[in-house]
Amino acid sequence: MRLTRRSAIASALALSACGQGAKSQPAPAPIPPLKSLARFPIGCCVQERWLQEPDYADLLAEQFSQLTAEWEMKMEYILREDGGFQFDRPDSIALFAKARGMALHGHTLVWYAGEPEPFKKLDGKGAAFANAYRNYILAVVGRYKGQARSWDVVNEPITDDGERLRESLWSRNVGLDDHIIRALEHAREADPAAALFINDYHLELKPNKRATFMRLVERLLKRGAPLDGLGTQTHIDYDLPEGAVGAALKDLASFGLPIHLSELDISLGDRFVPALPGDRVKRQIAKYAEVAEAFMALPERQRFAFTVWGLRDSDTWLRGPSGQRPTDQPLLFDDAGQAKPTARVLADAFSRRA
Ligand code: G3I
């Protein structure tokens, strides 16, 4: 008998309660590898320093089939102040993926949030800027040619209010749409086999931002840009209205391109008190099941990958300075690397619709 979503959530909760509550109870059974239950890559973001921890590395490789560098394949790490490149940690992440038979998703080449000095010095210098822009992309994508199956070529091109394209060092010097088109073209030139994405957040929370993103996609495709897929980050809260993720995926899938659910975490919200979870954890578990089912409802050829933004709760960016939620528990594995009910409901969803 196949588990329904409701019974899957109930059993996940019950298992977790016996694991956490009664001391005499045995620890909850481990979950089967998530990557073995789905017909598409199950991804996780990583930082190179964690790959040196054997328990972390083993759990990551056991459960996931794709890696995204959380920050060490971005300009902020690769491009040094003196204009030189440092590839030690990105190489280490790529090597780990290769050694463990995992796919690698490159993240990210161009981002408004990263404006390193070597490019700032070229601000306003037309051809010099454009050449440096092309050379950076050729160098980075070229280095991982045949290793990275795909790239977030431009990250977060739409303003947070969802109304327009972001102005940035890149758009100012290469053009509003053109900096995206050029970046896609340079990436294609460097590795014709890599699938090229643009990636953004709050496409489920803000329908107006999704609409602006989709108008950009239309323009890029109309101009023949080598755009192969769309990334929807899906950094959401436990109380996101029901159906929002499904509506976003359905809209984005209307272009017929592969969809990367690229950075999933489901926050327990501001000021979460672990000892007083209220109904937040239960709703978060249900939300994980809902997101999995929404992704599974995509046509198989459009399910590019399902990626979570961190392995253990202790790894989440949300507990750090930019997330500002120090007690958050947004992921699939707890601080000790034990599978949580959030992982169980994903396992159930993937096995139900495998
Ligand atoms: O590890 C170093 C540490 O050694 C050093 O002392 C410290 C101070 O410089 O920096 C630490 O590295 C930081 C790294 O996170 C690890 O914590 C970087 O400065 C910091 O910039 C980096 O932040 C990342 C951020 O993107 C910017 O790259 C976050 O981890 C990462 O989760 C976040 O991810 C973004 C996606 O790329 C795009 N979507 C939103 C998502 C969350 O903001």
Two tokens at 306?
């399902």
Statement: residue 17 has pLDDT above 70: no
What does the pLDDT average to over 159-165? 98
pLDDT at 3 over 80: no
Q: Which domains does the chain have, with CATH numbers?
A: 39-353 (3.20.20.80)
Report which of 5, 31, 17 is spatially closest to residue 347, judged by C-alpha positions: 31
The pLDDT value recorded for residue 2 is 45
- Note the pLDDT tens digit of each residue in 39-80: 999 999 999 999 999 999 999 999 999 999 999 999 999 999
Q: Which of 200, 209, 153 is nearest to 180 (CA)?
A: 153
Does residue 201 register a pLDDT over 60?
Answer: yes
| pLDDT at 30 (0 to 100) | 81
Q: Which atom of ligand 1 is nearest to the CA of 320?
A: 17
Provide the percentage of residues in the chain whose pLDDT is more than 90.
90
What is the pTM assigned to this prediction?
0.94
> What is the Å distance from ligand 1's center to 71 Cα?
6
| Per-residue pLDDT at 299 exceeds 80 | yes
Q: Whose CA is nearest to atom 31 of ligand 1?
A: 70
**Residue 352: which pLDDT band, with cuts at 50, 70 and 90?**
confident
pLDDT tens for each residue of 103-157: 999 999 999 998 999 999 999 999 999 999 999 999 999 999 999 999 999 999 9
d(CA 222, CA 194): 21
Residue range 89-115, pLDDT digits in tens: 999 999 999 999 999 999 999 999 989
> Per-residue pLDDT for 233 more than 50?
yes
- Active site annotation includes 48: no
Q: pLDDT class for 339, splitting at 50, 70, 90?
A: very high
Across the chain, which distance is largest between two alpha carbons, in Å?
70
How far does the centroid of ligand 1 lie from the alpha carbon of residue 278, in Å?
Answer: 31
Q: Is the pLDDT of residue 208 over 70?
A: yes
Helix (H) or strand (E) holding 66: strand 66-69
- Average pLDDT of the chain to the nearest whole number: 94
Residue 21 has pLDDT above 50, yes or no: no
User: What residue owns the CA closest to ligand 1's atom 23?
Assistant: 71
- Probe ligand 1: pick from 81, 234, 317, max atoms within 8 Å of CB? 317
Catalytic residue selected from 72, 156, 204, 290: 156
Question: 215-232, pLDDT tens digit by residue?
Answer: 999 999 999 999 999 999
Closest CA to ligand 1's atom 14:
71
Helix or strand run (H / E) with residue 117: helix 117-120
Instruction: Give residue ranges with CB within 6 A of ligand 1.
Output: 47, 70-71, 74, 76, 155, 201, 233, 263, 317, 322
Q: How far apart are CA 209 and CA 202, in angstroms?
A: 7
Q: Torsion over CA of 87, 91, 94 and 98, rounded to 10 degrees?
A: 160
Active-site annotation holds for 263 = yes
Q: Nearest 5 degrees, angle CA 37-CA 93-CA 75?
A: 120
